[in-house]
Chains A and B, each alone.
Chain A
């Protein structure tokens, strides 16, 4: 690998992709990134002139669903080009190199492209027992992660694991798995949550970063605004049924057959920021709600610890029993109501059994008094 990196355009032409396909790819990318009418030209320009940004893709505690999603990106160019661009450098799941050879790439990239490469992280580091629950290349993953991050230009947190912790961080979190921003504090991080994130969202983000050499605009929670500024619910095609009040009440009922809203079946679309209802999955074929199952909120923080996926009201685990807000509220109202009944009873008994106090004149019973009442 030489320090003089070829451009994206040179690379794809070398791979036999036509100029026409390249221009199509540029327009598509510009559109999916929401770059506006002149976007295609700036994408093309960036890809033709700027040297490729090296990408290192590391894996911590994870299930590899992010990589699986990524390699299924719909647009063939996005897949071939972006993927080859990355595997050239480092992704231990899909690259050709192995063992010491692969390890050498990491150090080489770190030295040669100090402050210039992108670190993409899939999965997260467990911290308990000095990180021994995830050993990668003979060392705790957390050490290698912070080492590679220290010389990176920016960090991409792939998926809910790297962004929020995901199921390996579920209570009681025995390995103390933490999202990567808990251990990488001095680098800009873009979070691309989802379990896994949508392929087009992943390629969109990585294309943006490698193309423009900076992170896209991020929201309050560090997610790229272009893909995470609306909820599933905002663009869901079943939304008219929600507004009308037409719900699936039970699996396989008439409403389910008619494609009514899955709100009562615990759909988390109203609280989930992701692009599923617009981009959809597997090349736009479908997405969970379209195939009749509610959103489980897989791109949201803590989605794994919020009770059943099939409950509308979130389960609250208090004193070892799981109840929802209405059950807790009604129980409290019951207790208070009973308390008041008892209190009123005692009050009445005491009123009846004690003599009227002579220092208190009950004036309301005096019709001649103008201030009565």
Chain B
């Protein structure tokens, strides 16, 4: 397998070769739009969610003059809807978009080359190999991280709407669709706790994700940050091939 590293041009995470060229259009407009809307919604959700768990200091005076918790929760729920609708849209796009739009939903764990790439990429992060491989879509390690993120996202949406249904009432559509969460955790206190831990796992994902994106952008042989802005993957060492 070692010779894969010596191949010219780029392969995608499953070994599909592309003609050697310097830019490939990877992230379609819809995917990029979703990425940034999603990132924004998550930022709002994390801040407002944290404040729901640990509210700001008490405000003095008459209750009728304030709606602080109300606004915090409103921000959380609105961003929650944006996140959920955005996710449904992104799921739809996986069916109609290009091959890379499907990646985050299907980690090809059955593919040997992909698994090899996963280990190789891990070694690259552990400074054990000299050069990273080039990938058109996500590299296998990034791919695995993205797919895990999707799982957490689904969990946050399900648990979030289940909690929402408690306020909306047992005859709400939210309860009809997401009430099953309370069959797993009969006491909503546990759902709060898991939802809260879910936030921290997303915060950790985001920290690593942004670090890796910046680092790859500087070090590796391909663009990353500009790719999620413009959609194009630029391979910087392919000019002479």
Which residue numbers of A lie inside 8 Å of B, CB to CB?
164, 219-221, 225, 229-231, 234, 240-249, 255, 260, 263-264, 268, 270-271, 297, 300-303, 306, 312-314, 316, 325-326, 328-330, 332-333, 336-337, 340, 343-344, 346-347, 350-351, 357, 359-364, 369, 371, 373
Residues of B within 8 A of A364 (CB): 236
Residues of B within 8 A of A337 (CB): 207
Q: Most B CB atoms within 10 A — which of A164, A219, A328, A343? A: A343
Contact with A along B65-77 (1 / 0, CB 8 A): 1111110100000
Closest to B130 in A: A357
Beyond A221-B182, A245-B59, is A329–B208 a contact (Cβ under 8 Å)?
Answer: no
Beyond A249-B57, A357-B130, A360-B237, is A229–B169 a contact (Cβ under 8 Å)?
Answer: yes
For the complex, what is the distance from the CA of A247 to the CA of B70, rounded to whole Å? 13
Cβ contact within 8 Å between A244 and B59: yes
- Give chain B interface residues in 161-181, CB to chain A under 8 Å: 166-167, 169-170, 179
- 11 further A-B contacts with Cβ under 8 Å, apart from A301-B187, A343-B211, are A240-B64, A247-B58, A248-B58, A301-B186, A302-B190, A329-B200, A333-B203, A347-B127, A360-B221, A360-B236, A361-B237
Which residue numbers of B lie inside 8 Å of A, CB to CB?
22-23, 50, 53-60, 63-70, 72, 125, 127, 130-131, 166-167, 169-170, 179, 182-183, 186-190, 192-193, 196-197, 199-200, 203-204, 207-208, 211, 215, 219, 221, 223, 226, 234, 236-237, 239-240
Cβ contact within 8 Å between B197 and A329: yes
Q: Which of A234, A245, A255, A340 meets B69, CB within 8 Å?
A: A245
> Shortest distance in angstroms between B231's beta carbon and chain A's nearest beta carbon?
14
Residues of B within 8 A of A243 (CB): 63, 67-70
For the complex, what is the distance from the CA of A255 to the CA of B60, rounded to whole Å? 8
Ranked 4 nearest A-B pairs via Cβ: A329-B200, A245-B68, A325-B196, A244-B66
Q: Is the interface of B mostly helix, strand, loop or mixed?
A: helix
> Shortest distance in angstroms between B160's beta carbon and chain A's nearest beta carbon?
15
22 A–B pairs (Cβ distance < 8 Å), ordered by A: A219-B170, A229-B169, A244-B65, A244-B68, A245-B55, A246-B58, A247-B55, A306-B187, A306-B190, A312-B53, A314-B189, A314-B190, A316-B193, A325-B199, A326-B196, A329-B200, A329-B203, A333-B200, A351-B219, A361-B239, A371-B23, A373-B226
For the complex, what is the distance from the CA of A285 to the CA of B22, rounded to whole Å? 78
Residues of B within 8 A of A316 (CB): 193, 197
For the complex, what is the distance from the CA of A234 to the CA of B172, rounded to whole Å? 15
